[in-house]
Structure 1
Amino acid sequence: MQTTEYIQLTTKGPEAGILKLSGDLTVKHIQELKENILKAIGTFKQLEILINHPETIDIAFFQLIEAAQQRARKSKKKLTLTYKISDDVHELCRKAGLTLENQ
């Protein structure tokens, strides 16, 4: 399985991190994305997921993000979604019910 183009986890502070995701955010890479998101949620009390100019994105990714938000809430952790995306992808996110903070 080839990997998504770009997954980067960086520290924002002692208890906070940023997970930057770009490239192919689709069902093809959902397991790799899931593993990275769960690892980041387990590592930090506050996590920002930055959706950074994805080449492709699909409903499986949106379902994964919803599951990640539920996991973070159950774990009493803060998960924030931010984005750098095209207007078309932003509209797709809005229709999928994702609340994103513009960056």
Structure 2
Amino acid sequence: MSGSVSHGNLVYLSGQVPNDFKAPLKDQVETTLAKVDALLAEAGTNKSKLLSAQIWLKDINRDFAPMNKIWCEWLDEENKPVRACTQAPMATPDILFEVMVIAAKD
């Protein structure tokens, strides 16, 4: 599986999850978003060019508000993507957060 694929002026990231599945939600979200930053930079773009995001939470009732606070602080204030967020069983039971994004390139 590729971490990212570029096609034309678009960059598609695969679903990104934290490295430490045992970490608390805050750490899982922050480290996963850092992975997104790194993959976007490697592809020649950044979070200010996000177009779309899909987020999965293991427990949306418990984790949506704290995740959303971190997400909103991480976003570029001037360029917010469209987003979907849902609850889903994860590939590994300890994963609490997964995100997949599409971004534009110059």
Give the structure-2-normalised TM-score.
0.43
| Larger helix fraction of residues | 1
Give the structure-1-normalised TM-score.
0.44
| Larger strand fraction of residues | 1
Q: Using CA pairs under 8 Å that are at least 6 residues apart, name the structure with larger relative contact order, 1 or 2.
A: 2
